[in-house]
Chains A and B, each alone.
Chain A
Amino acid sequence: KNEVEQSPQNLTAQEGEFITINCSYSVGISALHWLQQHPGGGIVSLFMLSSGKKKHGRLIATINIQEKHSSLHITASHPRDSAVYICAVNRDGGATNKLIFGTGTLLAVQP
């Protein structure tokens, strides 16, 4: 079993829909990251959080440390949001900066 699990693996939405991607992890962590990868492109960091909630534009990330769960929400989705979204964690007590990755969620937003 992977230490970081994401759901769903694939998601198709219509433009304007509210989208939620989930991430569960089974290890103690010091931080959780949400990353975005466009087709053929590199990976960019969207959020890094260790508690609570962060918001950037139409994107919201939440984390519940007790339940070992995080969600990434996209409000008013747009075709340009189509990408792979990856959850990753820094293991608590582990080597600084090493990340454990989920397998990603492929999101397609149709116009």
Chain B
Amino acid sequence: DVKVTQSSRYLVKRTGEKVFLECVQDMDHENMFWYRQDPGLGLRLIYFSYDVKMKEKGDIPEGYSVSREKKERFSLILESASTNQTSMYLCASSPLGGRYNEQFFGPGTRLTVL
């Protein structure tokens, strides 16, 4: 089975702190995604990566950056956390190729910024 893991299930940070959220997948997938999920808004794409060192902005990239130095690992970085970044963050991966593919999701990290 595909396994996508995230570094923390729950995280509490203070305004202005630098925050790292890490995601690791074990199925050699090319594509990796970071989403945030908020009540009434559903999942929104922050960034995605289709290869090592390659990244593309999603719908809401402001205030976030990403890093993909190895194929299996995709990191989301909040350079200076703000209270409006309190949310559930979900990572996903999928193989490359074809017109569409299933995405495999991690368990999520619930981030609270105080």
Q: Which residues of A contact B (CB under 8 A)?
A: 2, 30-31, 33, 40-45, 48, 50, 86, 88, 90, 95-99, 101-104
User: In the complex, A30 Cα to B101 Cα: how many Å?
Assistant: 10
User: In the complex, A44 Cα to B1 Cα: how many Å?
Assistant: 12
Q: What would 17 more interface pairs be, CB under 8 Å, given A50-B100, A97-B96, A103-B41? A: A30-B100, A33-B102, A33-B103, A42-B107, A42-B108, A43-B90, A43-B92, A43-B105, A45-B104, A96-B97, A96-B98, A97-B31, A97-B103, A99-B45, A99-B103, A101-B44, A103-B42
Q: Is the CB of A42 within 8 A of B102?
A: no
Q: Given A31-B100, A42-B106, A43-B105, do A97 and B42 touch, yes or no (CB 8 Å)?
A: no
Residues of A within 8 A of B4 (CB): 42
User: In the complex, A104 Cα to B103 Cα: how many Å?
Assistant: 17
Q: What is the total number of residues of chain B having a CB less than 8 Å from a CB of chain A?
A: 26
User: In the complex, A50 Cα to B99 Cα: how many Å?
Assistant: 11
Q: Given A86-B42, A103-B42, do A42 and B100 touch, yes or no (CB 8 Å)?
A: no
A interface footprint on B4-32 (CB within 8 Å = 1, 0 otherwise) = 10000000000000000000000000010
Closest 6 CB pairs of A and B: A31-B100, A103-B42, A90-B100, A43-B105, A42-B107, A101-B43
Q: Which residues of B contact A (CB under 8 A)?
A: 4, 31, 40-45, 48, 56, 90, 92, 94, 96-108
Q: Given A97-B94, A102-B42, do A48 and B102 touch, yes or no (CB 8 Å)?
A: yes
Q: Is the CB of B90 within 8 A of A101?
A: no
User: In the complex, A108 Cα to B103 Cα: how many Å?
Assistant: 25
Show 16 A/B contacts (Cβ-Cβ < 8 Å), sorted by A: A33-B102, A33-B103, A41-B107, A41-B108, A42-B106, A43-B92, A44-B105, A90-B99, A95-B56, A96-B99, A96-B100, A97-B96, A101-B42, A101-B44, A102-B42, A103-B41
Residues of B within 8 A of A48 (CB): 100, 102
